[in-house]
Amino acid sequence: MHYLLAKNLYGGNRIKRNLKWFVCLMVFVGIVASPLFMAAPASADKLSKAIEQGINDGKIDKKAEPGFLGIPGAPKVNYILGFLWAIWVGWIFSTVGAFGGIMAGVGHITIFGLGDYAKDFGKGYPMNKLVTDSIRVSNQWLVGLSGLISSTNYYRMGRLVAPLGMCLAIGGVGGSWLIPDLTAGKISLKAYIGYFGIAVLVLGIILLRETTKGGQAKRKKAKEAATAFEKESKKGGETTQGVKVLQGSWTLMFIALAVVVASALWANLAGEAKWVAYILALIGWGLTFFVGTIRFTFFGVEFKFKAFIPMLGGIFIAALASFLGVGGGFLYVPFLTSVAGLPMFLVAGTSGLVVLVGMIVSIFSYMVGKGVPVQWGFIGAELVGIFIGSMIGPRTSKYIPDIWLKRLFVVLAFYVGIRYITKGFLGFSIVPPF
């Protein structure tokens, strides 16, 4: 026991090094390996097979001009519209934050006309599945990028709670391959739109609560408390104290993580005997129950948590995030602040790490395992638009009070949410355009 404690107390550097290598490996897999396989026969085969079937069934005109992903007769993605939409997304990212991811999704589904095109093929049709999955992956590329930036920055600052991130990732890695596996190709764009709408509406309700009188009063009170503790801060002058892990079985955590990563790789690459992947995922999750309690200090304050709680949270969040093709960030943050009660700096870095790991596995699952293609030129135009929007945002946000920005997004969230829910589940929108 003493040996274990001493190992955990003094083994920080080794663990940090291991974590560094682990993150490097995941980034390598995500950045190098995924695109590497993307050009492999799997994606070309899947696309050409879907096109062939469409031609044979008379749903695709062979002679029509190629559009999205080179599919004959598919809508030609309007890059200028995509670029302008991305400026709007960049503006939101730089003024209010997280809602930008949702808006990127809205662009992929509605603005570029891909949603209606996919829907025309009918439920369960290969081309419908392919376009739906391609939209998801396009969203995930943008989200994965945000996770990469966040975890790199916070790793450098020593603000990552590695054991917490690992336990979340143990749940998350399994969740993010299991859900694409269970739903990719089985869920039509119509249903995907409906679920996406529910997520947007929930976000709208949360935002609305913040803009009510009660929400504003709470905020005012928080600001007053903050001012009181500002004075304390000047007296104390303590500013730099990183995370120190006191207790937790690293060996078991690494084994559990390795087992769930192996389950994801088996599921994506082996193709046959899928049950092995399911068993590996279950073993990884089961091992987390034996890790016990993890204790660490930050700024001299002690925090502790049972390892299996973030693991369960990770399964649920990654499953939902991967299913919707949006980042889990907007769910990890409330989980880590409310359930785990962690300070902001730890939440930021830790959730970034989990989002990154989850998105890498999810992108890998779709692009390698399922052979889903993406249109590079389109992502390029979006990135240019986003950074231009990010330069406009700071210049305009000072003229718009925070509360009005929030109200604007409440209206947008309700509109988008109701439109997508009714379109997805009823087949028509109850808000214009119908």
Partner 1 sequence: MDFVSGFVETIDYFLIAPYRWSGNPVIGWWTGTTILAVWAALLGKLTIALVFRVNRSHIKETVGEMAQRHSQSMNALKAGDRTAYKAINKLANEAFGKSFFLQVAMASASLWPIPCALAWLQIRFSSIRFSLPFDIPLIGNSVGYSFIFIPIYILARILLGKIKIRKAHNP
Within 264-293, which residues bind partner 1 (CB under 8 A)?
A: 269, 271
Under a CB-based contact definition with an 8 Å cutoff, are residues 376 and 34 in contact?
no
- Choose, by CB under 8 A, the member of 122, 124, 286, 394 that binds partner 1: 394
Query: Is residue 399 a contact residue for partner 1 (CB under 8 A)?
Result: no
Q: Which two tokens stand for residue 271?
A: 């193709």
Which of residues 58 and 300 has its CB atom nearest to partner 1 in the complex? 300
CB of 210 to partner 1, least distance (A): 9
The site map against partner 1 for 224-243 (x = CB under 8 A) is -xx-xxx-xx--x--x----
CA-wise closest residue to 261 among 143, 164, 362, 184: 362
In one-letter notation, the amino acid at residue 174 is G
Query: Is residue 38 a contact residue for partner 1 (CB under 8 A)?
Result: yes
CB of 423 to partner 1, least distance (A): 27
- Choose, by CB under 8 A, the member of 3, 10, 13, 301 that binds partner 1: 301
Residue span binding partner 1 (CB under 8 A) among the ranges 105-113, 179-187, 250-258, 391-399: 391-399
Which of residues 35 and 124 has its CB atom nearest to partner 1 in the complex? 35
CA distance 76 to 66: 8
Ordered alpha helix ranges (H), 212-305: 213-236, 250-265, 274-288
Which of residues 310 and 327 has its CB atom nearest to partner 1 in the complex? 327
CA distances from 150 to 157, 173, 355 (A): 11, 18, 9
- Choose, by CB under 8 A, the member of 386, 412, 413, 416 that binds partner 1: 386
CA distance 425 to 430: 11
CA distance 7 to 70: 56
Size of the site for partner 1 (CB under 8 A): 74
Interactions with partner 1, residue window 93-112 (CB under 8 A): 93-98, 100
User: Given strand 301-306, what is the order of strands in its sheet?
Assistant: 243-247, 293-298, 301-306
User: Is the CA virtual torsion 400, 402, 403, 409 positive or negative?
Assistant: positive
Query: Is residue 39 a contact residue for partner 1 (CB under 8 A)?
Result: yes
Element (H, E) at 295: strand 293-298
Which of residues 121 and 330 has its CB atom nearest to partner 1 in the complex? 330
Interactions with partner 1, residue window 107-136 (CB under 8 A): none
Which of residues 30 and 248 has its CB atom nearest to partner 1 in the complex? 30
Residue span binding partner 1 (CB under 8 A) among the ranges 87-95, 123-131, 188-196, 287-295: 87-95
Query: Is residue 37 a contact residue for partner 1 (CB under 8 A)?
Result: yes
CB of 179 to partner 1, least distance (A): 22
Rg (CA), the chain: 23
Query: Is residue 53 a contact residue for partner 1 (CB under 8 A)?
Result: no
Coil vs helix vs strand at 341: coil
- Choose, by CB under 8 A, the member of 114, 324, 347, 356 that binds partner 1: 347
CB of 124 to partner 1, least distance (A): 25
Coil vs helix vs strand at 244: strand
Helices 99-106 and 79-95: crossing angle in degrees, nearest 10, is 170
DSSP state of 69: G
Q: How many CB atoms lie within 10 A of CB 63?
A: 7
The site map against partner 1 for 64-83 (x = CB under 8 A) is ------------xxxxx--x
Identify the residue whose tokens are 């590996």: 280
Query: Is residue 379 a contact residue for partner 1 (CB under 8 A)?
Result: yes
Query: Is residue 328 a contact residue for partner 1 (CB under 8 A)?
Result: no
Residue span binding partner 1 (CB under 8 A) among the ranges 46-54, 169-177, 222-230, 255-263: 222-230
Interactions with partner 1, residue window 148-207 (CB under 8 A): 149-150, 153
In terms of phi and psi (left: phi > 0; alpha: psi -120 to 50; beta: otherwise), the region of 64 is beta
The site map against partner 1 for 404-433 (x = CB under 8 A) is ------------------------------
Query: Is residue 137 a contact residue for partner 1 (CB under 8 A)?
Result: no
Q: Which two tokens stand for residue 417?
A: 């949410």
Query: Is residue 343 a contact residue for partner 1 (CB under 8 A)?
Result: yes
Under a CB-based contact definition with an 8 Å cutoff, are residues 150 and 160 in contact?
no
Coil vs helix vs strand at 325: coil
